[in-house]
Structure 1
Amino acid sequence: MRRILPTLVLLLTSACSSSSDHKRPVKPDFPQTNQQLFSEKIAQVPSINSLISLTPVQILDIQRFVGREEIAELPKNKQVYEYLSKNLVNFNYEGENYSASLAMDKQGGNCMSLALLTYAVAKQLGVKAVFQVMYTEPMLLEVTANLAVTSDHVRTFLYEEDTDQPSKSFFFSGRSYLVLDYFPGRYDRPGKIIDENQFVAMLYRNLAADALLNDDLDYAYSLLTSGIRYDEEYAPLISMMAIIHRRKGDVATADKLYRYGLEVTDSKISLLSNYHYLLSKQGNTLQAAGIKQQLLALEDTSPYDWYLIGQDSLHTGDFKSAEIYLSKFLKNTPYYHQAYFDLARAQFAQGKQALAASSIKQAIEIAELSKSQRRYKAKLLWLQQM
């Protein structure tokens, strides 16, 4: 929870100092996108209401369940928890983006589909749902057309009713809550709490990623546009919007999007990496070098991006950068043995045989541990970081 507290303190400080003469920095407006490049498919974009809507049969099933004598006496958030726990026993993790009703019918979907289903059931019973991003062991799901798709993990907090204090912040209300975490056996590390707008933005990001993988840039544009309406400072949406403009040949708008993203968001790894790629492809070596230095100097605990750009640097023969990126990754995720093998490759290619041998030794030691031992080792590390 360390990552959450500074944000909360800053928000409280801002509220208390609203009478100060100091002017707050004015954030830039979202750059104008080149709509003429795309055949918009707004009609095909699902609304958030359609994504969370349950069928009449599903709603009736929920009502019957909570009407049971032993369930009706429970707090509402416990009712949601019990319903989902009993109805998702055989849920199949398929890695697919489904709506809430489809996820329930199919008894399958990815982690975001599960979170969406939880959100839908919670809304049906009038329960407040708050989401938290979880950092997990990096898992590449698919790589195609220079796009890397990774797994996402979100857990859900279900808050108990508190009608006496309806306007009080959920973080400070003292309300009891239940946590729904569908994959508790993973190497999970708590990330930031996200609000409903950010959660919806993540849903549209997932759908846009599917469109990108299908090379449907027009549909991706429509989905990204919808997502940005909910959170125009969400780094993945900004980065993907820049990517589809670059693919359509509009480098100028892509450049504006990257610069905007770097100004408004704290999550800069993928933005810097993709911006560096854009500048390098355009032959802007001086500016690309400056962006590369920012990336090399950046400190960020997000696990996925460091690993992915470390892999990319290995493939392009930039072994010095690969060593730096993979070292940053392992600083926060030291239980992922494959990364030590990759680090050893980067070190060996630079003539650092002793360091490469040490990395190989660490990789072997971790790989030989059982999954339970690696999990305990990871948990111990995170406890030490609290």
Structure 2
Amino acid sequence: MPNEAEVFELSQQQIDALERFLSRYDDDANLHWQLARFIEGHLSNFDYYGQTLTASQALQDQKGDCMSLAIITAAFTRHLGLEHNYQLMLTPPTFERHDDLVLVSDHVRTRVYPPAGLEDNDRSDRSTRRAIIDYFPSRERQPSRPVAEDEFLAMYYRNVAAEVLVEGELEHAFWLIEKAARIDPDNASVLNLAAVIHRRAGDYDTAEALLRYTAGKHPNDVNVLHNLHTVLERRGHDTEARAVLERLAHLPDHNPYPRLMLARELVESGQLDRALEIYEAVIEQMPYVHMAYWGLATVHYKQGDEFRARQAMEQALELAHAPRHERMYTAKLDSLEVANPKGHAMP
């Protein structure tokens, strides 16, 4: 498990690459923009889908998620002595399902400020001349909130804990989430994942206690309430579970997977038109959810529209990053290549 210094540590080779780039300029007042240009050029072949990695790992492997980009940016700003801060975008998160675990990914970006203490950079001007380092720079005017350093570091360990949990490394996930909780003790997403890990380990008492505590601190967190409802229902606390479900009914919930499960049940019962409406609505709201395209392909195929089924399946294959999904969708596409129109049906 990397410590805080190792999360932001850069190799000498990576530092040298930055220094060579900056040696082209003699305008210290715009050092933040020079850094932004370096990051943009240095990461031109960056794979934006990936794990949450340390700065040196992400640069070496040329991949990582938005947290990885923020870590890279922070590492370089620390080296240059520039001021930076983080923002959490207040837009719907992304979701990805791994068996019975749904990963929720927020979007974080970094703002880098001009060097302090220079005549060209008085305090009133510095905040308006900041450089925003983001996968999606067009989001500059979207709502956001600041993220403190402790919260950001806790988010790093939370993300890595979720990744190893998906791989079945329960003990490793436990130690990572414990580290996150020590850094940011009342972080809802950290406590929520800690509860999930305890539930996976069969410790329902601790899982329930954590979720009750977190729901008290964060009464409108739908992810916490979903997990609390699941634990209460499984433990036979039906009255409380229904009360939590009632609270959820009055909160905006962007998680597409309950709707996708309903659509699948509708397909199995032959209600294809209703299922189609759900799949299309999910795709309109969250066009990255490959499972929605898979469901759409199933409906079109059952309706006898092989052309549209193929289009939807190809989109699912394009969006599926996990090798398991790639294999599944490729196999389904291959079966369509040789299928008798009436001889095969997608499960």
Q: What is the TM-score with the length of structure 1 in the denominator?
A: 0.63
Q: Deviations over 1:123-165 (max 9, x none)?
A: 1111122222236676544x3330123554322111223349x
Q: Deviations over 1:69-110 (max 9, x none)?
A: x25434332232122122112212241222111211222222
Judging changes above 3 Å, is the alpha-carbon distance between structure 1 residues 267 and 311 closer, same or farther for their aligned structure 2 residues?
Answer: farther
CA distance in 2, matches of 1:182, 1:336: 18
2:64 to 101, 109, 116: 109
C-alpha distance 174-109 of structure 1, shift in aligned 2 (>3 A): closer
Q: Name 1:155's counterpart in structure 2.
A: 109
Please report the RMSD computed on the Cα atoms of aligned residues, expressed in angstroms: 3.6
Q: 1:199 aligns with which of 138, 152, 167?
A: 152
Q: How far off is 1:231 after superposition?
A: 1.4
Does residue 1:144 correspond to 2:98, yes or no?
Answer: yes
Residue 100 of structure 1, aligned match among 44, 52, 55: 55
Once residues 315 and 281 of structure 1 are traced to their aligned partners in structure 2, the CA distance between those partners, rounded to angstroms, is: 23
Residues 165-188 of structure 1: CA distance to partner in whole angstroms, max 9, x if unpaired?
A: xxxxx9998453111121347899
Equivalent residue, structure 2, for 1:89: 44
**Equivalent pair of 1:162/1:175 in contact (CA under 8 Å):** no
Q: Which runs of 4+ in 1 moved over 6 A?
A: 170-173, 185-188
Partner of 2:11 in structure 1? 55
Counterparts of 1:299 and 1:140 in 2: how far apart (Å)?
Answer: 15
The 2-side partners of 1:135 and 1:295 are apart by 19
Size of the alignment, in residue pairs? 278
Instruction: Give me the whole-angstrom Cα distance separating, in 2, the residues matched to 1:263 and 1:217.
Output: 26
Contact 1:135 1:188 in 2 (8 A): no
1:335 to 1:309, Cα distance in 2 relative to 1, 3 A: closer
Please show how residues 1-386 of structure 1 align to structure 2 within 5 Å.
45-68=1-24, 70-134=25-89, 139-141=94-96, 143-163=97-117, 174=127, 176-184=129-137, 189-265=142-218, 268-299=221-252, 303=254, 305=255, 307-312=256-261, 335-336=285-286
Q: Which 5+ residue runs of structure 1 have no aligned equivalent?
A: 1-44, 165-169, 318-322, 346-366, 368-386
Partner of 1:8: none
The AA in structure 1 aligned to 2:79 is Q
Of 288-297 and 171-180, deviating more is: 171-180
Residue matched to 1:371 = none
By relative contact order (CA 8 Å, sep 6+), the higher-ranking structure is: 1
Cα distance change of structure 1 residues 262 and 313 upon mapping to structure 2, 3 Å threshold: farther
Q: Distance in 2 between matches of 1:250 and 1:314?
A: 32
Deviations 1:166-223 (A, max 9, x none): xxxx999845311112134789953322121111111111100111101111111110
2:51 match: secondary structure: coil
Does the 8 Å CA contact 2:112/2:131 hold for their aligned counterparts?
Answer: yes
Label 1:90 to 1:163 Cα distance change in 2 as closer, same or farther (>3 A): same
Amino acid in the other structure paired with 1:128: E
Output the amino acid matched with 1:107.
Q
Q: Counterpart of 1:162 in 2: which secondary structure? A: coil
Does the CA-based 8 Å contact 1:137-1:188 persist in structure 2?
Answer: no
User: Which is further off, 180-189 or 202-211?
Assistant: 180-189
Letter in 2 for 1:91: F
Q: Distance in 2 between matches of 1:171 and 1:228?
A: 37
Are the equivalent residues in 1 in contact too, given 2:95–2:104 (CA < 8 A)?
A: yes
Distance 1:251 1:86 in 2: 49
Offset from partner CA, 1:345-382 (integer Å, 9 cap, x none)? 9xxxxxxxxxxxxxxxxxxxxx9xxxxxxxxxxxxxxx
Aligned-pair CA distance for 1:65: 2.2
TM-score by length of 2: 0.69
Supply the distance in 1 between the matched residues of 2:214 and 2:46 (Cα, whole angstroms).
Answer: 37
Distance 1:278 1:200 in 2: 28
SS of residue matched to 1:155: strand
